[in-house]
């Protein structure tokens, strides 16, 4: 029965023990406490009422606990996805908070559907096509944009919604005189508490301390009268059942942002899951199962008043440090949030927005990476250029354009590399039957009339042009003295129909130019493909050899006998030139 | 001076001779005569007045003649690009013929800009990422859609504009009673003449014969009074200077279709140019120069009242068969068209639309490929599935969706393959210093404590996950008895920053698991990369070897001495198990 593959929690549940429970309890409570301010802060960043951030860490966490293949991943709202949600929805100009929420629910539903089906179709590998420098440049720029978006809460000034840094900076400059210093002071206090609390111990609930202190200060000194903005009424009770929109035109307008969130969210989540899994090694991580689990979690968010969620970086690290052994820790976190929703939401009435802004600011400040660009500048100029390009595009043209351009940049690199397989001309190591790359080994025996070529990789649509061009180049470098090409196929792993068509055409062309062709070292599956496409018939079964040595012997034989008639004009010349 | 590279016509112009002129004259006149009905028919397919098809084969042809690297390519309107133009513009709902024309000019301008800059940025390689089966499926479906779009002219019935086959078929069914049999008869006559004319001799101007006969019949028997639709006034005179729109919002709405036309047009053009070049071999074809030349030609179309052009399949074949030796043939064709525009446009007044429909129908009928799907069904099921998927999507969801889904399908294959480099475990050929793939060679010497791995390809962002997973799999298959991993890097061609980071992390992880790591066979550039990223420092200079044999010797030495302490618990076990 394969049920354990699809519900990975069944792998540990039957063997669950007390030691694990101890760790899970400690981690579950730590992360739960962390989630209260984070959930509200990120919901605010996403443009939603803070309560939806708390709803988003109830049902989705339980679903992930069941289906996730990571045992330490802490799912919930994260900064990047929250910002993408805000950017995506505000560009549609919803006319009321209800419409805004409906868009957020629909987005969660679409993200869930995309991730679920990508997982079911085993497309987890596509996450590979976001390269390290692109993610790095994008994350740093996004962190700056997120940070700037919180300035209005920190300074209590009103700024227009924007995700273009130049506009944001100008707007902040224009409103610099309106700063509400009391709010700013509270925010700075919050930042300091969170920042230094983190330094004392990473599992210290410093954000919750900041929240508590903020509430006490505002309530005790009546700061609302002095103009400090507060969160206000936070409705109590369990998350209500909600429904996304099933309107096709809404779907198609939300699709691009949903795709972006699906990929970015999964990339972040999977990266952190991998890092943590490498420290444990007592379970296997499955990219496709992760997609399915995150997809189902997002369905949970869509139907229980949340908004898009994914695995978070710092939260997962805290979960692991606090001792999480299984995903039961997440269930405990969710339980803590449910208790809060039932009994303690009234406490958050006086919570100042500036403290939530402080939570976000400290979280994203850590995402700005200065070291990597410097590192790449010295070590890999091409990757440095990709990082800076993605960074600048994201910063000046916005989050969505940034990630799309980053993907296109990464894809161009993949296509470029895929279209250029490694090819080598071979020569014989004197006195042996071994053939090696003539660019890498000296003193190899090379016959000017014989071109031995090895292609390292598959022959398929993306690289046939390159292979053809390279062959033409080598043939012309040899000034058309080539009388035989030996194709060493020992490193060829597959040939698709485009490759088979091309091979057929090349053989025909070369033969018509009086260049014979042999094939050596084919493996079983490749031989089958050649046979199906009638390429063995085309090339002749007597032109297929086990190794280059036998093919070379055949070449020398035909030169000495058959070739006298067949290649008469060449034979004389080549004998003279033969070393 | 590199001028000859950027203006390839300078390569042949100084050595131009009479033999070449003879061929070029014959070809230029043949193609020119072919262009008159084709230009008008394709313009009609694109939803434009027929005259713009003639304008499109004046200035653009001369520009291509100067800058093109192919010497036989015949540039002009083609069926696919015309249909894409019609589909793209009509979805924008232009409110007048003038607005429609402005869109067409702007499209030509954008296509020109995209192609020009792709060429300048040397992005010609991206054309590789449309696979053979995708192009095949797309072309067959597009041919059917184009054919159905001509039915209204052939039957003289009014049909709604659509590019979804199901709607088109239903609409034709509903109007089947309205068929104008006289028009239909004329169309069938046209088809027969063109079809059989082609069989008699491919260079016979059968389409022009059909056009002439059509005109004579309509004029002679006064068929317009009997309801036969004619082309009507065709304005005479040279193509007027025209200007595309420079409105940004127009640009952004046209951008997706412009991108599609740029890629599809270039793919078709380059494929035919390659085929013809292979027959001549007296010049080199350059993908990037081709993009630049087509881009400039499209600028010519934008500023001289044309619409998007590219190299056409059948026309180029005719040009070559008729003896074209250089692009002067295109200049001669353009001259013939200019003469027609100046003096003979009046002759086309009575030309029945049904004859132009016949020209298009015969052209596209040849594009429907039945053989390849059957072929692929037997030979390559995966490619068959791609062909059928692209075919069905294009047929039912339209041209644009079809080509985009085809590209995505192709891209997924590229990414999938790029993310799975070939990896082999190596073993020693007994009694030698040679190491081979243990899956392919029998009776190799394998030490259970030693994992020798060769990766064939680069280590970069797209494949690090796969490599890591494969290594984990192999390590667990060996039941954690591995004490040393030897990384054979002789086939590794490059390592990017993601690859370097990953290698660093792997080495750290394995070392912490008491698995030592050695690297063998690095080439110069790879050694430089390892050095820059401090990987040689990380692995230890004494762990770098020329070949697997030396590394194995080192492994056996350390096992006998150092390892006694370092790997004590493993040493005993492994000695017992050593074969």
Q: For the residues of A398-446, what is the DSSP string, one character each?
A: -HHHHHHHHHHHHHHHHHHHHT--EEEEEEEPTTSS-EEETTTSSS-B-
> Using CA atoms, how far apart are residues B419 and B498, in angstroms rounded to an integer?
13
A481 in contact with chain B, both atoms CB, cutoff 8 A: no
pLDDT digits over A163-191, tens only? Answer: 788 888 888 888 888 888 999 999 999 99
Asked whether residue B169 carries a pLDDT value surpassing 80, the answer given is yes
Q: What is the 3-state secondary structure (H, E, C) of A84-135?
A: HHHHHHHCCCCCCHHHHHHHHHHHHHHHHHHHHHHHHCCCHHHHHHCCHHHH
Asked whether residue B54 carries a pLDDT value surpassing 70, the answer given is yes
> Using CA atoms, how far apart are residues A270 and A292, in angstroms rounded to an integer?
12
DSSP secondary structure letter of residue B13: G
- pLDDT the model gives residue B559: 64
The widest CA-to-CA distance across chain B, in whole angstroms, is 107
For residue A121, CA distances in Å to A4, A172, B388, B393, B484 come to: 19, 46, 18, 18, 37
CA-nearest of B420, B497, B500 to B455 is B420
Q: Which residues of chain A have a CB within 8 Å of the CB of B497?
A: 132-133, 375-376, 379-380, 383
Sign of CA dihedral B486, B492, B496, B498: negative
Residues 6 or more apart from A424 whose CB is under 8 A from it?
Answer: A437, A438, A439, A440, A453, A454, A456
Query: By the 8 A CB rule, do B163 and A450 touch?
Result: no
Cite the DSSP H helix spans in B16-96. Answer: 18-45, 51-55, 59-67, 79-90
- pLDDT the model gives residue B578: 37
For residue B7, CA distances in Å to A213, B4, B296 come to: 74, 5, 12
DSSP secondary structure letter of residue B345: G
Higher-confidence residue of A481 and B566: namely A481
What is the set of domains in chain A, with CATH numbers? 18-413 (no CATH), 422-577 (3.30.750.24)
- pLDDT the model gives residue B52: 95
Instruction: Phi first, then psi: give them for residue A204, nearest 5 degrees.
Output: -65, 130
pLDDT digits over A91-126, tens only? Answer: 788 889 999 999 999 999 999 999 999 999 888 887
Please, what is the Cα angle at A95 between A89 and A99, to 5 degrees? Answer: 60
Mean pLDDT across B257-262: 90
**Minimal Cα distance from B373: which residue of A?**
A497
> Using CA atoms, how far apart are residues B137 and B375, in angstroms rounded to an integer?
13
Mean pLDDT across A454-464: 86
pLDDT digits over B496-519, tens only? Answer: 888 998 899 899 889 888 899 999
- pLDDT the model gives residue B573: 34
> Using CA atoms, how far apart are residues B528 and B536, in angstroms rounded to an integer?
9
Contact A462 B414 (CB under 8 A): yes
Asked whether residue B563 carries a pLDDT value surpassing 70, the answer given is no
Q: Which member of A133, A414, A500 has the closest CB to residue B415? A: A414
Mean pLDDT across A373-387: 90
Residues 6 or more apart from A569 whose CB is under 8 A from it?
Answer: none
Q: In what order do the strands lie in the sheet with A422-428?
A: A435-437, A422-428, A450-456, A484-488, A516-520, A544-545
Characterise A480 by phi-psi region: left (phi > 0), alpha (psi -120 to 50), beta (else): left
- pLDDT the model gives residue A577: 37
Optimal mutation site among B414, B437, B510, interface A, most CBs of chain A within 10 A:
B414
Mean pLDDT across A125-131: 76
SS3 B482: coil
Please, what is the Cα angle at A132 between A128 and A133, to 5 degrees? Answer: 135
CA distance A507 to chain B (A): 13
Asked whether residue B577 carries a pLDDT value surpassing 70, the answer given is no
CA distance A509 to chain B (A): 8
CA distance A497 to chain B (A): 7
The answer for B 416-475 residues in CB contact with A (under 8 A) is 416-419, 421-422, 434, 440, 456-458, 460-466
CA distance B336 to chain A (A): 36
For residue A407, CA distances in Å to A175, A366, A377, A398, A415 come to: 36, 23, 21, 14, 12
Asked whether residue B98 carries a pLDDT value surpassing 50, the answer given is yes
Query: By the 8 A CB rule, do B392 and B386 touch?
Result: no
Mean pLDDT of chain B: 86
Mean pLDDT across A465-485: 88
Percent share of chain B, pLDDT over 90: 34
Establish, for the pair of chains A and B, how many residue pairs have beta carbons separated by less than 8 Å.
156
Mean pLDDT across B68-91: 91
Mean pLDDT of chain A: 86
DSSP secondary structure letter of residue B443: S
- pLDDT the model gives residue B214: 92
Q: Which residues of chain A have a CB within 8 Å of the CB of B415?
A: 125-126, 128-129, 411, 414
Mean pLDDT across B307-316: 91
> Using CA atoms, how far apart are residues B41 and B62, in angstroms rounded to an integer?
21
CA distance A536 to chain B (A): 14
Residues 6 or more apart from B519 whose CB is under 8 A from it?
Answer: B486, B487, B489, B530, B539, B543, B544, B545
- pLDDT the model gives residue B551: 92
Find where tokens 């003469």 sit: B339
Which tokens go with B308?
């998007």
The answer for A 303-322 residues in CB contact with B (under 8 A) is none
Asked whether residue A566 carries a pLDDT value surpassing 80, the answer given is no
Optimal mutation site among A497, A508, A512, A547, interface B, most CBs of chain B within 10 A:
A497
pLDDT digits over B406-442, tens only? Answer: 888 888 888 888 888 888 899 998 888 888 888 877 7
Q: Distance of alpha carbon B182 from its chain centroid, rounded?
A: 41
Task: Count Cβ atoms within 10 A of the Cβ of residue B282 and give its class: 0-12 exposed, 13-18 middle, 19 or more buried.
Answer: exposed
When pLDDT is cut at 50, 70 and 90, the band that residue B493 belongs to is confident
CA-nearest of B163, B141, B80 to B387 is B141
- pLDDT the model gives residue B570: 33
pLDDT digits over B196-217, tens only? Answer: 887 887 667 788 888 899 999 9
Least confident span in A157-161, A351-355, B232-236: A157-161
Mean pLDDT across B54-64: 96
Which tokens go with B483?
């004490």
- pLDDT the model gives residue B165: 85
Asked whether residue B12 carries a pLDDT value surpassing 60, the answer given is yes
pTM (two decimals): 0.72
- pLDDT the model gives residue A59: 95
C-alpha radius of gyration, chain A, whole number? 31
- End-to-end, the C-alpha distance of chain B in Å comes to 67
- pLDDT the model gives residue B385: 92
| DSSP-assigned letters across all residues of B222-248 | TGGGGT--B------SSPPP------H
- pLDDT the model gives residue B336: 94
Percent share of chain A, pLDDT over 70: 96
> Using CA atoms, how far apart are residues A135 and A417, in angstroms rounded to an integer?
19
Query: By the 8 A CB rule, do B75 and B313 touch?
Result: no
Which tokens go with A449?
């009339």
- pLDDT the model gives residue A530: 92
> Using CA atoms, how far apart are residues B263 and B80, in angstroms rounded to an integer?
12
CA-nearest of A422, A541, A426, A445 to A491 is A422
- pLDDT the model gives residue A235: 86
> Using CA atoms, how far apart are residues A380 and A421, in angstroms rounded to an integer?
21
Asked whether residue B558 carries a pLDDT value surpassing 90, the answer given is no
For residue A420, CA distances in Å to A303, A326, A462, B211 come to: 47, 44, 8, 48
> Using CA atoms, how far apart are residues B381 and B393, in angstroms rounded to an integer?
18
Find where tokens 């692929």 sit: B376
Mean pLDDT across A529-550: 90
Mean pLDDT across A224-240: 86
Asked whether residue A35 carries a pLDDT value surpassing 60, the answer given is yes
Contact B131 A498 (CB under 8 A): yes
- pLDDT the model gives residue B341: 94
> Using CA atoms, how far apart are residues A338 and B262, in angstroms rounded to an integer?
55
């Amino acid at each position: 029965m394969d049920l354990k593959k699809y519900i990975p929690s069944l792998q540990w549940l039957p063997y669950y023990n007390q030691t694990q429970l101890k760790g899970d309890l400690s981690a579950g409570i730590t992360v739960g406490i962390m989630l209260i301010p984070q959930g509200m802060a990120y919901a605010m960043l996403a443009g939603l009422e803070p309560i939806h951030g708390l709803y988003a860490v109830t049902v989705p966490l339980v679903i992930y606990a069941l289906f996730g293949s990571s045992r330490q991943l802490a799912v919930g709202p994260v900064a990047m996805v929250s910002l993408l949600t805000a950017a995506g929805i505000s560009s549609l100009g919803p006319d009321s908070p209800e419409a805004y929420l409906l868009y957020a629910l629909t987005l969660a539903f679409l993200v869930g559907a995309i991730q679920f089906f990508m997982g079911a179709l085993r497309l987890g590998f596509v996450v590979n096509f976001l390269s390290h420098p692109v993610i790095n440049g994008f994350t740093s720029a996004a962190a700056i944009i997120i940070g700037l978006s919180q300035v209005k809460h920190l300074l209590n000034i009103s700024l227009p919604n924007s995700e273009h840094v130049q506009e944001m900076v100008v707007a902040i400059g224009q409103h610099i005189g309106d700063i509400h210093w009391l709010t700013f002071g509270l925010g700075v206090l919050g930042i300091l508490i969170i920042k230094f609390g983190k330094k004392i111990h990473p599992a210290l609930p410093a954000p919750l301390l900041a929240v508590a202190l903020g509430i006490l200060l505002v309530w005790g000194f009546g700061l609302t009268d002095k103009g400090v903005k507060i969160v206000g009424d936070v409705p109590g009770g369990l998350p209500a059942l909600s429904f996304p929109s099933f309107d096709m035109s809404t779907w198609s307008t939300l699709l691009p942002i949903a795709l972006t969130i699906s990929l970015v969210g999964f990339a972040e989540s999977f990266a952190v899951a991998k890092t943590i899994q490498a420290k444990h090694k007592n379970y296997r991580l499955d990219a496709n199962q992760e997609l399915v689990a995150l997809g189902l979690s997002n369905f949970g968010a869509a139907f229980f008043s949340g908004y898009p969620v994914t695995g978070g970086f710092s939260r997962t690290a805290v979960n692991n440090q606090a001792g999480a052994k299984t995903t039961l820790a997440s269930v405990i976190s969710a339980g803590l949030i449910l208790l809060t929703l039932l009994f303690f939401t009234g406490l958050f009435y006086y919570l100042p927005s500036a403290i939530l802004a402080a939570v976000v600011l400290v979280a994203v400040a850590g995402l700005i990476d200065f070291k990597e660009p410097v590192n790449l500048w010295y070590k890999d100029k091409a990757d440095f250029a990709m990082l800076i390009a993605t960074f600048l595009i994201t910063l000046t043209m916005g989050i969505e354009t940034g990630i799309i351009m980053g993907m296109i940049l990464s894809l161009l690199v993949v296509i470029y590399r895929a279209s250029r397989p490694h090819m080598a001309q071979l020569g014989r190591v004197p006195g042996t039957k071994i053939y090696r790359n003539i660019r890498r080994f000296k003193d190899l025996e090379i016959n000017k009339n014989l071109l031995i070529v090895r292609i390292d990789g598959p022959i398929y649509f993306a690289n046939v042009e390159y292979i053809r061009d390279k062959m033409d180049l080598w043939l012309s470098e040899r000034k058309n003295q080539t009388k035989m090409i030996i194709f060493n196929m020992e490193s060829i792993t597959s040939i698709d129909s485009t490759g088979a068509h091309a091979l057929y055409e090349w053989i025909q062309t070369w033969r018509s130019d009086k260049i014979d062709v042999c094939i050596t070292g084919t493996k079983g599956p490749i031989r089958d493909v050649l046979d199906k496409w009638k390429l063995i018939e085309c090339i002749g079964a007597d032109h297929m050899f086990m190794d280059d040595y036998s093919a070379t012997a055949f070449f020398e034989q035909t030169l000495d006998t058959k070739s006298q008639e067949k290649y008469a004009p060449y034979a004389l010349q080549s004998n003279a030139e033969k070393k």
